[in-house]
Amino acid sequence: MEKARSSFSSRLGFVLAAAGSAVGLGNIWRFPYLVAKYGGGMFILIYIIVVLTFGFSLMIAEIGLGRKTGQSAIKAYTKLDKKCSAFGVINAIVPIIITPYYCVIGGWVLKFLWAYITTPAKVIADTGLFASFAFNAAEPVEPILWFLLFLGITVVIVCIGVEKGIENVSKFLMPLLVVLVVGVAIYCCTLPGANEGIKYYLKPNMNDLKPITVLAAMTQAFFSLSLAMGIMITYGSYMKKDNSIEKSTWQICAFDTGIALLAGLAIIPAVFALGSPETLKSGPSLMFIILPQVFANMAMGRFIAILFFILVFFAAVTSSISLFETVVSIIIDQLKAKRQNSIIITILICLIIGLLSSLGYGPLENMTVIGMQFLDFFDFISNSVLMPIAAFLTCVFVGWIIGPKAIISEVESNKEKFSWKKLFVIVIKYVGPIVIVLILVASILQAMGKLSI
Ligand code: TRP
């Protein structure tokens, strides 16, 4: 069975893929819309605190578990304690739900890329491309085709096994993405009227300090850092014993958060400069509504838009291949399926959940689950319910079942001091489990309309 997984080129290849997978749509598409939705500065403040505490501690725990056991999520828990095999299974369900709708958003990115290649930026902004494309009940086929194209590209890369090639290309393109995002952010922050937006972005407002904001920040941190779904356990299992777990963790956290903050600066101030604060609440479509307006008014806007969507596409595809690969190896491990069959099962899952997500914004818009459209529902159930549960179980497992010492000794096994050991122990044993349970209960009650917070 192991053989099938290591077909992911080489060990080093997988490490790079897992690290590179952290930066993706989560940073550029999801983070800015959450900032807008949950109150600007307060969300950012909470997000940073969450990354420094939960994000850091959970990543150390996951990488530590992986390196200690040399196994991927499901087997890592079982190896350390037979009774806890279910813990790994919960971790494994998350990517199964995320991969399909990730591909739907990837399809949106491709559509916008194609639109800018074929249409002037002004026309795209004036016609309100996103609404007529993704939210059009009369024409559901187009978003589905783009979703299928993105899924197809992902599957082809996984099947012919050129992840490494893609990784190499994106290692070169990622810095370019950073430069471009910085450029667009500077442009947007200097637009007349952007100051209000920068203030909104940076100044925490006490009224926004609500349990739901903390939950949103926490789950976004998990999503963006690829935590609470077993990925980092696998990543850790491929890490060399003499590498520093603590240093790598800080680097991944800092890099990932830096890109997210910049993406927010490229989008939020523009909302104010364009005088459309009502779009702040527009959720998953925010990036696709605001950026076209920015590009339409920018010198060389069309060229920059094409470049931007190419780079976002690469960021998304490196993430989608490792999400897809994760699901494939989970199915290989759990069902003892052959790799080929497991790829077919994964495609079928993606088709079912992906089609529902795509149609949910079109002809099925009136069909909602607990008041949410399908894509929002899948996002909610994976990010706001399953990921906190997975994170809670990991905290309990490391904090109370095997004990933090097991991970600390792994972190220190290269003879380096674990500088933030105290923080790690306090978060994993006490703060993590308690805060996660409180927040989870509050937010589920809220989603069910039983609590207004
Ligand atoms: N972190 C990725 C992003 O920001 C999304 C993601 C979550 C992911 N879990 C993952 C990517 C697992 C690859 C593997 O977009």
Q: Label residue 3 by pLDDT band (50, 70, 90).
A: very low
Predicted confidence at residue 348, as pLDDT, reads 97
Distance of CA 247 to the CA centre of its chain: 22
Rounded Cα distance between 402 and 431, Å, is 18
Cα 207 to averaged position of ligand 1 atoms, centre (Å):
31
Predicted confidence at residue 416, as pLDDT, reads 87
Alpha helices by DSSP H, listed for 81-162, are: 85-118, 121-127, 129-134, 141-160
Rounded Cα distance between 120 and 45, Å, is 38
CB-based pocket (< 6 A), ligand 1: 21-22, 24-27, 95, 223-224, 226, 229, 231, 319, 322-323, 326
- Mutating to test ligand 1, I would choose from 16, 21, 28, 314 the residue with most ligand atoms within 8 A of its C-beta, which is 21
Predicted confidence at residue 432, as pLDDT, reads 94
Q: Label residue 283 by pLDDT band (50, 70, 90).
A: confident
Determine if the pTM surpasses 0.85.
yes
User: What is the 3-state composition of the chain as percent helix, strand, coil, each rounded to the nearest 5?
Assistant: 80, 0, 20
User: Percent of the chain, pLDDT > 90?
Assistant: 55
Rounded Cα distance between 86 and 229, Å, is 13
Evaluate if residue 439 carries a pLDDT over 90: no
Predicted confidence at residue 11, as pLDDT, reads 44
